[in-house]
Copies of this chain bind each other. A is one copy, B any other.
Amino acid sequence: MAKKVKAELDLTTEQKIKEAASRVFTKKGYGNARTRDIAEEAGINLALLNYYFRSKEKLFDIIMAERIEKLFGVLAPLLYDEGTTLEEKLQNITDNYITMLTEHPDLPIFVLSEIRNNPDKLADRLQARKHMTQSVFVRQLMEKRKDISPFHFLMNLLGMALFPFIAKPVLQPIIGSENNYNAMMEQRRVLIPKWIKMMLEEV
């Protein structure tokens, strides 16, 4: 294997293809993405894509694994932290989730629509079962509020954080500039943990 000696800043061909594939797949989805789009985006010959990754599907599988890791990788450790209180976790999870979504706003719709196309293949990868049944966070939720399933609060937290991002193409033009929208997300960083705390109090 003859690894090219490239200038530090240059990416290897393999990396260029992966990054182009990540952009194109995320933006258009598997079915709407053309291998020619990816090759052009990467600035390489189409045949190279197959030379390095054998097929569109194999390339996609690699990209998808990385994107899912991006979507949940930051979150998972927070859920299992024994050293933080429930309140701290609410703040940390909200914070990290909104940060990640701000950096990768098109990730949720991409992952969700690919799961729709291939539930069996992808749904497992998220390890949602483990997080739901074994995480410290869920345990703490149950201790705090015994009469309501912790799933509800988890859904609320994720739903409130996620919604503005998946609805962004619809809402952004109404709310105004990109900056305006981001300002609203900054408010939600503070508000969402407060709201969840309110829900957790007995009535």
Binding site for B on A (CB under 8 A): 27-32, 106, 109, 112-113, 115-117, 119, 123, 126, 128-129, 132-133, 148-149, 151-152, 155-156, 158-164, 166-167, 169-171, 173-175, 184, 187-188, 191, 194-195, 198-199, 203
Contact = CB atoms under 8 A, between A and B. Distances in A.
A13 to B, nearest CB: 27
Contacts of A161: 159
Given A133-B174, A160-B160, A112 B115 contact: no
Contact of A109 (B30, B116, B128): B116
What number of copies of this chain does the assembly contain?
Answer: 2
A51 to B, nearest CB: 26
A40 B161 CA distance: 41
A128 B163 contact: no
Contact of A155 (B30, B115, B123, B164): B164
Contact of A163 (B106, B132, B148, B162): B162
A35 to B, nearest CB: 14
Given A132-B174, A152-B187, A198-B198, A169 B119 contact: yes
